[in-house]
Amino acid sequence: MAEVIKTATRDAYGKALVELGEKNKNVVVLDADLAAATKTGAFKKAFPERFFDTGIAESNMMSLAGGLATTGYTVFASTFAMFAAGRAFEQVRNTIAYPHLNVKIGATHAGISVGEDGASHQCCEDIALMRSIPGMVIINPADDIEARAAVFAAAEHDGPVYMRFGRLAVPRVFDENYKFEIGKAVTLEEGTDVTIIATGLMVNEAIEATKALKAEGISVELINMHTIKPLDKETVIKAAKKTGCIVTAEEHNVIGGLGSAVSEAVCEECPVPVVKVGVNDTFGKSGPAVDLLHIYGLDAENIVKHAKIAISKK
């Protein structure tokens, strides 16, 4: 049996920044006194002249990032998702997105899997906030391979990008030959009974759920939606027409995230039942990350349950 490789996407983010910095001298990195946690410390060590620690002043950091971008730099601004999307929302909106500047936000420690840090740091609202900003691209990678690819794709993209990374080590889904494209979903399994659309760490759980459903004779169309904005509507509509029902799976509030984006897409062109697996509009609590995922139903077992519910609604 092959060894299961587990890596936190925040670790892949830090390594990718160093790799990118070696190839692109125009890249600068900002952090808000969390370089050890966001893993930008590796970039600081490699390129100290291109690294700026703004201290615990996230809003100021975003304004500084915007200013640097106006001079031609490709700027990566990093902090926890709670602070990047929440505390600095106004600056992200007005200073970065409104003038469509080349700032890439590396938001780590997203979702319930922050674990023991508790509700104050478990940001399950960030995708909803960033989705509401015109022109903002949102990427939520499933594993370390996809996280690395997202960093390089973000650097090439003209305009603001919000990248969502996790603290918890997750199994590797893809191999080194994986091709990543912003706004283009990846179909991992083809089926006819139910579509499962997952993002972030829920992709691995969806893979396990698909195995369990197939063992029961249920055919699954499994999609990895790494880019939540712009959503790959073509793939979503095609799957909706093919299977007649959809389950979405995300480590985020069921309001405003992937489930909402998918629902908006299908209701316009191909109305089918959409059942959401996610955080059910509640705050998290302190505890071991893996335990919390099970407590909040962010696991393969709950995806299987909701897939059967979706099928029953057809």
Q: Using one digit for the tens of pLDDT, what is the confidence trace for 6-49?
A: 999 999 999 999 999 999 999 999 999 999 999 999 999 999 99
Residue 195 is which amino acid?
A: T
Task: Determine the average pLDDT of the residues in 296-303.
Answer: 98
Kindly indicate the confidence band of residue 124, based on its pLDDT and cuts at 50, 70 and 90.
very high
Give yes or no: 58 in active site: yes
Is the pLDDT confidence value at 138 over 90? yes
**6-171 and 186-312 in the same fold:** yes
pLDDT value for 185: 98
Q: Domain map of the chain by residue range? A: 6-171, 186-312
What is the CATH T-level fold of the domain 6-171, as seen in this structure?
Rossmann fold (3.40.50)
pLDDT band of 154, cuts 50, 70, 90: very high
Tokens 């090439």, located at residue: 156
Residue type, 288: P
Domain over 186-312 is classified CATH 3.40.50.920: yes
Per-residue pLDDT, 4 = 81
pLDDT in tens, 192-234: 999 999 999 999 999 999 999 999 999 999 999 999 999 999 9
* Mean pLDDT across 149-160: 98
- Residue 180: per-residue pLDDT: 97
Looking at the chain, the whole-number percentage of residues with pLDDT higher than 90 is: 98
Catalytic residue among 3, 58, 125, 234: 58
pTM for the model stands at: 0.97
The pLDDT of residue 33 is: 96
pLDDT tier at 2, thresholds 50, 70, 90? low
Angstrom distances, CA of residue 160 to CA of 4, 231, 240:
34, 16, 30
Q: What whole-number distance in Å separates Cα of residue 90 and Cα of residue 79? A: 16
Q: What are phi and psi of 68, to 5 degrees?
A: -65, -35
pLDDT digits (tens, 9 = 90+) for 283-292: 999 999 999 9
Across the chain, mean pLDDT equals 97
